[in-house]
Chain A
């Protein structure tokens, strides 16, 4: 075997060194008495069995309307998902993913989607709809700036069309 060929077949190894989180801590703890049990037995822990049915957070579920079915996927964080950082103007715009209502733009500034291609659209009253095809890769972040242009008022459009 030609030594050159041997060199070419060797898999490429790339190592990146990067600085992680730099932390500085200052703490105080006080202990007094014969027994110390830091864990409360009773209390409210919302992430229980009944959580999905009773609670709704901005990442886990959305409030659909009769006309627009809710987006069926989860927008919550998972290690193998990709992040979408959405900036919308106006902030009151409704966000749709693949045609399903996902929530309000002000609640979806950060969302997590499985790796894949999606049709993202935003709509708001008095504004033109915004559409963008987005591609999500695991562990990667995508910034989306959605500026919805105001719709021209019918009167203004009419005035533009009339020549003196």
Chain B
């Protein structure tokens, strides 16, 4: 029997698994293209804190409801693969002692869904009508009305279970890929924080066992 056929089938079967995994974003040409960057033992890291507008444009999921988004890019040294893990990152307000670890895509999606579930919309629709009737009963009439509609809990976008799965997929696929990187990788990290104006944040990450701090403007 030809051995090429089972191998081909195996590759075909494995292709969707590889394709559906996290992909992250396309890393920029070098770490210094990011607003914050550092280098340690030949490994470079670049980071950028996304503004609320940028988050809105980048994601269909309403990540602004719960989290700050930081784009991180890793540039491993040549021939020295670098392990990338979410546990190696944390964000803190500059000067503060407590730090926050990034949340996984599933946790963020659940948080957004919970927020969407509790949201209710009230719609106010005024209407004006003028009419004229003729025949046995005739005359003119006018009518003025206001309709008020209150949406039900769970009717908002992002509140269904299916939406939660979709958001989880989006956040996972755009998130920083974890694993061993032998080439530059980039992606987003989601921190369950709200940023106050004029309070700079600090991103801490561990590179080859050494702690590196980047200030996020």
Q: Which residues of A line the B interface, CB within 8 A?
A: 11-32, 80, 82, 114-117, 133-140, 142
Q: Could you write out 12 A-B pairs with CB less than 8 Å apart? A: A13-B120, A17-B122, A20-B123, A24-B129, A25-B131, A31-B135, A82-B157, A116-B162, A117-B173, A135-B61, A137-B60, A137-B61
- For the complex of A and B, the 6 pairs showing the least CB-CB separation, nearest first, are A20-B125, A20-B123, A25-B129, A135-B170, A140-B157, A139-B157
Residues on the A chain within 8 Å of B133, using CB = 29, 31
Q: Mark B109-142, 1 if CB is under 8 A from A, else 0.
A: 0000001001111111111111111111000000
Closest B residue to A12 by CB, please name it: B118
B167 near A: Cβ within 8 Å? Answer: yes
B147 within 8 A of A: yes
Q: Which of B127, B134, B160, B162 contacts A30 (CB 8 A)?
A: B134
In the complex, what's the smallest C-beta–C-beta distance from A37 to chain B, in angstroms? 16
CA distance in complex: A27, B132 (Å): 7
Chain A positions within 8 Å of B158 at CB level: 137-138, 140
CB-CB < 8 A to B60: which residues of A?
Answer: 134-137, 140, 142
Known: A20-B124, A140-B60. A14 touches B118 (CB 8 A): yes
Produce 1/0 per residue, B139-174, CB < 8 A to A: 000000001010000011110101101110110010
Closest residue of A by beta carbon distance from B148: A20
Give the complex CA separation of A80 and B163 in angstroms: 10
Q: Is the interface of A mostly helix, strand, loop or mixed?
A: strand
Residue on B with the closest CB to A80? B160
Query: What string of 1s and 0s marks CB contacts (under 8 Å) between B46-90 and chain A?
Result: 000000000000001100000000000000000000000000000
Report the Cα distance A116→B60, complex, angstroms. Answer: 11
**CB of A108, distance to nearest CB on chain B (Å):** 19
Selected from A18, A26, A135, A140, the residue in CB contact (under 8 A) with B131 is A26
Cβ of A18 and Cβ of B124 under 8 Å apart?
yes
Instruction: Return the contact of B166 from the options A15, A26, A80, A116 (Cβ within 8 A).
Output: A116
Closest chain-B Cβ to A132's Cβ sits at a distance in Å of 12
- Asked if B129 and A17 sit within 8 Å, CB to CB, the answer is no
B122–A15 touching, CB < 8 Å: yes
Residues on the A chain within 8 Å of B129, using CB: 24-27
Residues of A within 8 A of B157 (CB): 82, 137-140
A25 to chain B, nearest CB (A): 4
Do A25 and B128 have beta carbons less than 8 Å apart?
A: yes
Measured in the bound complex, the distance between the Cα atoms of B132 and A22 in whole Å is: 21
Q: Which interface residue of A16, A20, A30 has the most chain B CB atoms within 10 A?
A: A20
Distance to closest chain B CB from A21 (angstroms): 5
Which residues does chain A contribute within 8 Å of B169, judged by CB atoms?
A: 116-117, 135
CA of A64 to CA of B173, assembled, Å: 30
What residues of chain A lie closer than 8 Å to B124, measured between beta carbons? 17-20
Residues of chain B contacted by A137 (CB below 8 angstroms): 60-61, 157-158, 163, 166-167
On whether the beta carbons of B147 and A20 are closer than 8 Å, the reply is: yes
- Additional A-B contact list (17), CB under 8 Å, known A27-B130, A135-B167, A138-B162: A14-B115, A14-B120, A15-B120, A16-B121, A16-B122, A19-B124, A23-B125, A24-B127, A25-B131, A28-B131, A30-B134, A31-B135, A135-B61, A135-B166, A135-B169, A136-B166, A138-B158
